[in-house]
Amino acid sequence: MTALHFRVARVDDSAEIAQLVNEAYRPAPGMGGWTHESDLISGKRINSEKVENLIKQEDSTILVGVLGSIIVTCVHIEKDGANGYIGMLAVSPSLQGLGKGKEVLTQAEEYAVKNFNSNNFVMVVVAARTELISFYLRRGYKKTGTTIQYPLDAGVGTPKFDALQIEILHKASNSALNLAPSSCRTAITRCRLALR
């Protein structure tokens, strides 16, 4: 298989990125890869306007992985003080299980360190997605012990079950550094605004 080419997303990529994210997280029945959450949440995960806003936002970048001319992976990185917020990691369902998620996550972490001087990486994950949390734990992320209710007013879909929780994970980019308590508070605030 041809290697992915990574680049920073442009505004004119917004619709293609939104389609990729929705196909990876909320696919139609029979189309999903192993990372989808359609059995937990209904509705779209994101739209092109939100993607465009993330691209235009200061201290915010979306990296895309391209095969030929097609965007097949993406990830959002945002600077938050000494922390790099990583979210919206998506791989085309047809490429899932081939190691592309690891590759994208590595690119995101390297970008956060190089461009945002991040000491820690922070992400939020739907707590019921145990297989996805296990994937991140194998990549060195740790549970913070902080969970919050799924953000119903964020426009990122409707839970199919009551009391759906979001869990916050972190990873130090330097093993000597620890996540500051304020980082969890910032992640919670961000999660309530928009689950990325």
Instruction: Report pLDDT digits (tens) over 79-90.
Output: 999 999 999 999
Answer whether 114's CB lies under 8 Å from 173's CB: no
What mean pLDDT is reported for the chain? 84
Task: Please name the residues in contact with 17: beta carbons below 8 A apart, sequence gap of 6 or more.
Answer: 9, 48, 51, 62, 64, 71, 74
List the domains of the chain with CATH numbers. 5-193 (3.40.630.30)
Q: Which residue has the higher pLDDT, 88 or 151?
A: 88
**b/e map of 23-52 (b: 16 or more CB within 10 Å)?**
bbbbbeeeebbebbbbebbeebbbbeebbb
- Does 32 score more than 70 pLDDT? no
Q: Which tokens sit at 51? A: 């993607």
> Residue 54's pLDDT is what?
96
The DSSP bridge partners found for residue 127 are none
* pLDDT tens digit sequence for 99-126: 899 999 999 999 999 999 999 999 999 9
